[in-house]
Structure 1
Amino acid sequence: MREFHKDDLINFLPNFETFVGIDSDGCVFDTMETKQKEHFHPAIIKHWGLEAIEPQVRAAAEFTYLYSTYRGLNRFLGLCKTFELLRDWPEAADKATIPDPADLRIFCDSGQPLGNATILAEAERTGSKLLAEAHQWSVDLNEDIDKNMPAPPPFEGVEAALKRIQAHSDAIVISQTQAVALLKDWYRDNLAQYVSVIAGPELGSKIDHFTMAAVDRYKANAILMIGDAPGDLAAAQAIGCNFFPINPGHEVESWVRFMDEAYDAFLAGGFSEAYQAELIHEFKALLPGIPPWKS
């Protein structure tokens, strides 16, 4: 199992005129529901002793990590947002001591790669109790997922799509899933053979991944991001490239649409303005910005 480094992105050499960045969790692999509900959210409750408000913690975490405009956030950004929502929710804040996420917000907004090594370094540098706790939560979470989570299957149609992409485009994985889990998923099902680099948060943000590997090497309309979260759309918009959504809850249908029409349109010169707008409208309609307990 090969590990990847920033140099793999910085020194990326094109073989084709088109480039495809592909997200992993919830896009290629059917991981999101199980990983979040059975591992992430119980770990938040246990680690910070929030059993008294378990229903509220689960609701806030599910909204943040799965069912909103925040879907697909890096785990530390998602943890920070979950605490912010809980502290602003009287039914939760009045029943339990919810951590003040100020230190975590500063770390998340620092521009550093949001991984275990960097949060540990910041915890040691600043003496922040919360950052140290978040680091341990993340380490324990990785161990729990590695030992106890069933192997997530790729969505139907993914391998056929990857084979086709490999034949016509340069392709890399652009993800915020930590490398320990990311590499395991891609090598277990031998899908790593279809991509040149597997990049997680240790190598930077998704915009960083694109900037290092693709920007200045390909025309903007020759770059495509495939993803299932608003962060994927934001990365695509930041560099001005095409975006194809794997719609949450409609993943198999999305891959069929990719094979039937979207990839051909991309190879023919990029998505038209009208087609891109249609894809984004359908995608955004699935992910609200206001929690259900406030709407």
Structure 2
Amino acid sequence: MNHPFTDFTKKQDHLVCIDSDGCAIDSMDIKHIRCFGPCMVKEWNLQTYEKEILKRWNEINLYSMTRGINRFKGLAKALKEIDSRYTQIEDVDTLVQWAEETDELSNAALQKAIASTDSSILKKALNWSEAVNEAIKQIPREDINPFAHVRESIEILHKTCDIAIVSSANYEAVKEEWTRFGLLEHVDVLLAQNAGSKKSCIEKLLTCGYKKENVLMTGDAPGDMDAAKGNGVFYYPILVSGESGSWAGILNAVERMKEGTFGGAFQEELIQTFVENLMK
């Protein structure tokens, strides 16, 4: 599983794509609250406005329709707001532009941009991202676990479906967590931050020979829904604060996909509930 797609071939007629952080693994809130936000405050010396800034960081990344946004897009959005509301962020527009225009949102892509521009804010963004990765490694293992019903659901699904992790998180972190929880043995391919966007990952998976009506994306964020819609495949949402209940219903949902009754009213109702849950 070291290189995206290299070792992957279609085995089953149906494919279930699963996001990791905040969807299968209860790690998203912990990582943002303990690592992403505080590391930004430290890197840009924002302690004066820490309480307001951290609250807004969590709104952007966890509790709104931008939940699950890529870390660099989230950083650019947060720093742009901080620049206009609280204190000047030097050269913030360079970061905003890079986050909008780059083909790949990763540390490696950022390093290439720094090599060609020598931009100070891009260097700070890389420092922040590396500090976040280091902080995540320091989270006690016992603090992060899969949501209830995840392990048994994936195990059952894998008997009749190919399983792909489709995540925008750090590859090594996803691999380590799924291995530790005994989940990776029920996965056929691991596609993380280094494999490209979720939309492009699903697009590449479809070239392996799946019919679109036999593919389902499971996620907890609007970006997961958009990746599914952008490829014409089904979306099964994991509801924030209702994750266990969502996982308890996934086997029934996949049966509906196999029977051909997932599309239409059932899909629309799932999406409506998902959006309303995030807009609370």
The TM-score normalised by the length of structure 1 is 0.90
Shift of 1:81: 1.4
Alignment partner of 1:4 is 2:2? yes
Per the alignment, residue 31 of structure 1 pairs with 27
Letter of the structure 2 residue corresponding to residue 38 of structure 1: R
Structure 1 CA distance, aligned partners of 2:2 and 2:99?
23
Per the alignment, residue 256 of structure 2 pairs with 265
Shift of 1:57: 1.0
1:228-267 to 2 correspondences below 5 Å: 228-259=220-251, 261-267=252-258
Match of 2:175 among 183, 199, 211: 183
* More displaced stretch, 211-220 vs 153-162: 211-220
* More displaced stretch, 33-42 vs 220-229: 33-42
Letter of the structure 1 residue corresponding to residue 116 of structure 2: R
Shift of 1:148: 3.2
Task: State the identity %.
Answer: 31
**Does the 8 Å contact 1:4/1:197 carry over to 2?**
no
Alignment partner of 1:70 is 2:66? yes
1:110-259 to 2 correspondences below 5 Å: 110-151=101-142, 152-215=144-207, 217-259=209-251
**Does the 8 Å contact 2:234/2:263 carry over to 1?**
no
How many residue pairs match? The answer is 279
Letter of the structure 2 residue corresponding to residue 279 of structure 1: L
> Taking structure 1 as reference, are residues 189 and 99 closer, same or farther at Cα in structure 2, changes over 3 Å only?
farther
**Does the 8 Å contact 1:242/1:270 carry over to 2?**
no
Per the alignment, residue 41 of structure 1 pairs with 37
Say which SS state the counterpart of residue 101 (structure 2) adopts: coil
**Does the 8 Å contact 1:56/1:86 carry over to 2?**
no
Gaps of 5+ in 1: 290-295
Say which SS state the counterpart of residue 232 (structure 1) adopts: helix
Structure 1 CA distance, aligned partners of 2:48 and 2:127?
22
C-alpha root-mean-square deviation of aligned residues, in Å?
Answer: 1.7
Say which SS state the counterpart of residue 243 (structure 1) adopts: strand
Gaps of 5+ in 2: none
Say which SS state the counterpart of residue 21 (structure 1) adopts: strand
Letter of the structure 2 residue corresponding to residue 6 of structure 1: P
